[in-house]
Chain A
């Protein structure tokens, strides 16, 4: 009897002790959990494009910027106004002279302090590596005034200099680290590179010594998934927490599922159709007009874009002050235009000239799936009008545009990512620009662009930009189709990962993941 009481007591003691122990364990765990939650939250994002290297200057600058690791002297806000970033303020002393005052306490990812000398060195390298930057900035000389002051003198008055310093190709980097083989470039962003595997993923981690607000996430993995559908499925299966550029047709799928949010925002992008002005057919304005008129824009916006975009009348979206261009109304029907150019319909109802049927090649690419559907819609429309179109899908559109024979190509451009028309007009339309992929050459237009580059007053600049677009719409080196919206698919526990009109500011310190 006594024994059993003792045993009961002992049992009670054991249970009691273990309960206390386990409770205290719990408390400890919880504490550890909250501490870990601050520092150990990670997110995985899916982006379509992979950089070929992490060199911040040159062709990969956009993708490097997109990873949240890099910063420029200035930044554009959602209204596309220039705001301070690495430069806290700047003054324009005269037409050609600017003084930028830099943020203090900025450290590169290798711990080195950023000063005016290192900024100068970095800008020098971008000028050297990228002819586009040279054209944009028109820098004559740079001078280090003090530890945190840099003077930039331009060759000609360059009103958009500050805005152009927001271009990712002017990322500020510690130049000495870029060419090093055993380490990643040291930049200044809120995240720093951890590991990069080309075409697969880029892992970035929080930079503890960041000069501004620390990142909420400790690590972000960016997976590069070029195919839109695969990106969507990665999101659905939980492989990634968010994905950019979701195929528009599949939005409904995500909307049906409560765990996902679909975020859209107007972009500064234009989907367009490029004419190869070197192709024998499209040297002729008449034929370009025929194609331009045959694009079923309304159907495309309503059905292919499902309303997620607005009709494009000029390269710049209408939300911009210089984006109110109007499409040139052409006179005469398609038949009249074709006959004017000496084409006749053959018995198969296909246009023919000197015994050769009208047959053209149209390039398209898989990264933006809606472009391929548009290409097929345009193909069908043209076939109904007696023009044969062969669609060719290529993996790397930019390479194909340089190397291959083509007549037409689907394309998509971010046209005003510096919040200013000058950049796009210079790189896309100047006869001597490498990025002028339509091979459009007009000395009249070159003069107008020069004038724009010289003009300082913003109303006058906008007016000039509109006049330039008028000439473009008359000469028609491209057909503008639609200004699409940017579509993100996001798991609803991901916070603050939202579409920004400027496509490379997606990753920032405030992105967070809740449980």
Chain B
């Protein structure tokens, strides 16, 4: 009998709560944010944090708190979207290449090796550079870069699962390949994939922020965290609050993702040992 792996501990609780809070704030943005995130008020530039503007205002007099709250919708929602699309692309590829170890696989694996050999950020910058700056292009670039590591991860999972006796038994009892993949392999990959996804969400948000910081992603006036940091660089000496709050927002979100995936990773390792 396996012992239940999901014993709660502090870091997991903190991580999940943090994530839930962030997502909730994002969902309730129109009701919580004190001001319109796009409303320019030139007579109110660089206001330091105060009761009216808890996080202060930026170089155009916009409320930074409201922008960070709306930024959740952009950073988190789009990171989630990117992750889902990447899964949709890489899941079938990972499953099939892991299940049938045909020669054609080699081609895919070398392609993936090639993609993985180049650091994420460098490759994304190159792709966005070719496609031109913009949010959609940034998403395409991130997907093009991230799919390889997803496929590799899924394939390695499938390879391991295929070694199991129950797959052999399933095959012997006359199940088709498609059915084996659907019924016996896919469900088992689910839990590790959630961990992988959670960890990757953090990475994607960082990547998006990085690209927007370089001016390649979100374009003004979009309240994206990285773009807000970019705006802040010109004024960090006179208005440091412009830089601190978006930075903290990115930090908290990535931390939440890390805490959750870390905990699961440990559990999973314990699981695998027992097996």
Contact = CB atoms under 8 A, between A and B. Distances in A.
A300 B60 CA distance: 10
Contacts of B60: 373, 376-377, 380
B42 A249 contact: no
B221 interface: yes
Interface in B34-50: 38-40, 42-43, 45-46
A446 B6 CA distance: 81
Interface string A376-388: 1101110100000
Interface in B12-46: 38-40, 42-43, 45-46
A349 interface: no
A228 B46 CA distance: 18
Interface stretch (B153-161, B175-183, B231-239): B231-239
Interface string A205-225: 000000000000000000000
Contacts of A232: 237
A511 interface: no
Nearest to B45: A303
Interface in A209-264: 228-229, 232, 247, 249-250, 252-253
A414 interface: no
Contact of A379 (B59, B220, B238): B220
B40 A380 contact: yes
Contacts of A381: 40
B94 interface: no
A391 B46 CA distance: 22
A373 B128 CA distance: 24
A53 B193 CA distance: 57
Contact of A392 (B43, B219, B234): B219
A377 B39 CA distance: 10
Given A373-B60, A390-B219, A304 B238 contact: no
B246 interface: no
A246 to B, nearest CB: 12
B234 A380 contact: no
Contacts of A304: 42, 45
A175 B59 CA distance: 49
B197 interface: no
A434 interface: no
A376 B220 CA distance: 7
A266 interface: no
B133 A392 contact: yes
Contact of B40 (A250, A253, A376, A391): A376
Interface in B205-239: 215, 219-221, 233-235, 237-238
Contacts of B234: 228-229, 247, 249, 369
A303 B43 contact: yes
A412 interface: no
Contact of B238 (A249, A303, A377): A249
A373 B61 CA distance: 11
A415 B175 CA distance: 81
A60 to B, nearest CB: 27
Contacts of A249: 46, 59, 234-235, 238
A154 interface: no
A33 interface: no
A250 B237 contact: yes
A220 to B, nearest CB: 27
Contacts of A21: none
A250 B59 CA distance: 12
Most B CB within 10 A of own CB, among A253, A302, A379, A390? A379
The residue among B43, B60, B61 with the most chain A CB atoms within 10 A of its own CB is B60
A391 B219 contact: yes
Given A250-B237, A296-B42, A303-B43, 4 more contacts: A232-B237, A249-B46, A250-B238, A393-B215
Interface of A: 228-229, 232, 247, 249-250, 252-253, 296, 299-300, 302-304, 369, 373, 376-377, 379-381, 383, 390-393
24 contacts: A247-B234, A249-B234, A250-B235, A250-B237, A252-B238, A253-B237, A253-B238, A296-B42, A299-B43, A302-B43, A303-B43, A303-B45, A304-B45, A373-B60, A376-B60, A376-B220, A379-B221, A380-B38, A380-B39, A381-B40, A383-B221, A390-B219, A392-B133, A392-B219
Ranked nearest first, the 10 interchain pairs of A and B with the lowest CB-CB distance are A380-B40, A303-B42, A299-B42, A229-B234, A391-B220, A376-B220, A253-B237, A376-B60, A303-B45, A303-B43
